[in-house]
């Protein structure tokens, strides 16, 4: 399962590089607006995730690094958090 989360992080990084590239060079007309809109929407979603999970970051060793990774990767980083033993269910 960790392969899937790692692949998600790689694809998210590639997407952010695409967005940064579209901001630095001139793209064809429909793609320029679509990339900027998609990048803004993804940033908004990651900000909402950061606000939602801010309380769970307080006990972490490096909360600022976790906040930055949530802004970059979103749920792909949140999956790396260890769940308390009370939430772990055994089949």
Residue 39 resides in a domain: yes
Residue 76, Cβ density class (10 Å: 0-12 exposed, 13-18 middle, ≥19 buried): buried
pTM, rounded to two decimals: 0.74
Taking CA atoms, 9 is separated from 42, 51, 55, in Å, by 14, 20, 23
State the pLDDT confidence band at 85, using cuts at 50, 70 and 90.
very low
Residue-averaged pLDDT of the chain: 83
- CA pair distance 65, 86, nearest whole angstrom: 26
Residue 83 resides in a domain: no
The confidence score (pLDDT) of residue 15 equals 93
Residue 14 resides in a domain: yes
Which residue range is the domain that position 35 belongs to? 2-78
Overall number of domains in the chain: 1
Residue 10 resides in a domain: yes
pLDDT of 13-41, one tens digit each?
Answer: 999 999 999 889 988 888 888 999 999 99
Rg, Å, the chain Cα set: 16
Q: Crossing angle, helix 29-52 and helix 2-24, to 10 degrees?
A: 130
Residue 85 resides in a domain: no
Residue 87 resides in a domain: no
């Amino acid at each position: 399962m960790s392969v899937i989360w790692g692949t998600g992080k790689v694809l998210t990084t590639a997407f952010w590089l695409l967005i940064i590239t579209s901001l630095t060079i001139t793209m064809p007309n429909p793609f320029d607006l679509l990339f900027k809109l998609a990048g803004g929407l993804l940033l908004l979603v990651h900000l909402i995730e950061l606000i939602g999970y801010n309380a769970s970051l307080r006990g972490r060793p490096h909360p600022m690094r976790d906040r930055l990774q949530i802004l970059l990767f979103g749920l792909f980083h949140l999956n790396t958090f260890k769940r308390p033993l009370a939430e772990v269910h055994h089949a």
